[in-house]
Amino acid sequence: MKLLDAVEAVLTQAQTPMRAEQITDLILEQSLWESTGKTPDATVNARLCTDIKDLEANSRFKRTAPNTFALRIWEIPEYVPKTEADKKKAEIHIAVPEKQSTLSFTSAAEKVLSEYANKQPMHYRVITEKILELGLVNTQGQTPEATLYAQILTEVKRSTRRGETPRFTMHGKGMVGLRQWLGEGLGYQIQHNNNEVRKQLLNRLHAIAPDEFEGLIARLLVALGFEEVDITSYSKDGGIDVRGILVVGDVIRTRMAVQVKRWKNNLQTPTVQQVRGSLGTHEQGLIITTSDFSKGARQEAERPNAVPVALMNGQQLVDLLIENDIGIVRTPYDLIELEEA
């Protein structure tokens, strides 16, 4: 789903204006859109602001407050900056959004549990009441407690699927706690072990032969939904390494050209420009690295009116390899606990 379509979908569900970071949390949790950047909420904010600026009254969206958006059909008054300072805050090309006074539901729940629960699980309805009392979340939805619980459950499932330890623990009958309360227990030991394996996996990516590395990337692309994956060359490191077609729901087919870089230093802007210049007709680009990207490289990848180039850094690469059981082996154990009541 395209980003703006995903935004429209979550706003339609919420039936209330939402901040960019809240919109981002929902579209990522519902897998309506994927982002490889470190600041997806900044991307969402920028795309919405661009759409409103370019289309004006024809945009599906309107800004109702700084960094807050609604659907135009709701006929809510549009936010108009009163001063030059306000106008600058509303500019669409700010790379890092200003610190917000409100949080996402899950971040607000973590704050409440950390500060008010005394390391004891709380019912999600009680957590919601405290969140609203403290004004941690800006919402006008009719069922905020249902939204909170659904987002916590989604986060727990997603983290578990990726082999990560979720920040929340579920205790049955709507009771929620924090994983950090477990301290040195079993959960801590598993998390410590998994973190060490992540580091070892990244080190191994640097050690294997170039053809094995590109083959590993090809396996990952297939697991992510690519078809017709073709490794272009084992020796030509300066150009495109893998080509394929990303298929989404047997409906969307996007031709992708992928460059892989086993670097320890951050990739810079020229690498993004080189990949963009190597793209064929109707192709989009993807750069996968074991390191990370500079600020300039990320800005170049998202440059308006240019062919998109997606970026995947080393941490994201390791996460996806683990999520798809590539390069790791899962060891299941049976953990028994007393039945409730």
pLDDT reported for residue 1 = 67
Q: Return the structure tokens found at 233.
A: 């060359």
User: Do 313 and 244 sit in the same domain of this protein?
Assistant: yes
Instruction: Name which of 43, 36, 50, 44 is nearest 9 in CA terms.
Output: 44
User: Do 214 and 315 sit in the same domain of this protein?
Assistant: yes
338 is a domain residue: no
Last residue of a domain, one of 141, 164, 182: 182
pLDDT reported for residue 99 = 39
151 is a domain residue: yes
pLDDT reported for residue 67 = 81
User: Do 218 and 145 sit in the same domain of this protein?
Assistant: no
The CATH number that applies at residue 217 is 3.40.1350.10
User: Do 84 and 139 sit in the same domain of this protein?
Assistant: no
User: Do 229 and 317 sit in the same domain of this protein?
Assistant: yes
pLDDT reported for residue 235 = 47
User: Do 171 and 241 sit in the same domain of this protein?
Assistant: no
201 is a domain residue: no
Contacts of 51 (CB under 8 A, 6+ apart): 4, 59, 60, 61
Please state the domain count of the chain: 3
Task: Measure the CA–CA gap between 83 and 247, rounded to whole angstroms.
Answer: 47
If DSSP codes are grouped into helix, strand and coil, which group holds residue 194? helix
Structural contact between residues 64 and 76, judged by C-beta atoms closer than 8 angstroms: yes
Phi, psi of 46, rounded to the nearest 5 degrees? -65, -40
User: Do 75 and 136 sit in the same domain of this protein?
Assistant: no
Q: Return the structure tokens found at 324.
A: 């798809």
User: Do 111 and 76 sit in the same domain of this protein?
Assistant: no
341 is a domain residue: no
Q: What is the pLDDT of residues 252-290, one digit of tens each?
A: 889 999 999 888 888 999 999 999 998 888 899 999 999
Structural contact between residues 279 and 251, judged by C-beta atoms closer than 8 angstroms: no
Instruction: Name which of 245, 232, 234, 241 is nearest 275 in CA terms.
Output: 241
User: Residues 44-53, buried b or exposed e (16+ Cβ, 10 A)?
Assistant: bbbbbbebbe
The whole-angstrom distance between residue 202's C-alpha and the CA centroid of its chain comes to 20
Range of the domain at 122: 105-182
340 is a domain residue: no
User: Do 255 and 316 sit in the same domain of this protein?
Assistant: yes
97 is a domain residue: no
Residue indicated by tokens 């301290």 = 183
265 is a domain residue: yes
pLDDT reported for residue 54 = 84
204 is a domain residue: no
pTM: 0.49
User: Do 82 and 114 sit in the same domain of this protein?
Assistant: no
- 63 burial level (CB within 10 Å; 0-12, 13-18, 19+): buried
User: Do 75 and 120 sit in the same domain of this protein?
Assistant: no
pLDDT in tens, the chain (341 residues): 688 988 998 888 888 888 888 898 888 878 788 776 667 888 888 888 888 888 888 899 998 888 889 999 988 888 877 665 555 555 443 333 333 445 788 888 999 998 898 888 999 999 999 988 888 887 767 788 888 998 899 888 888 777 677 889 888 888 999 988 876 566 667 777 888 899 999 999 999 988 888 889 999 999 989 999 888 765 454 478 889 999 987 788 899 999 998 888 889 999 999 999 988 888 999 999 999 999 899 999 989 888 889 999 998 999 999 989 998 988 877 777 777 66
User: Do 83 and 130 sit in the same domain of this protein?
Assistant: no
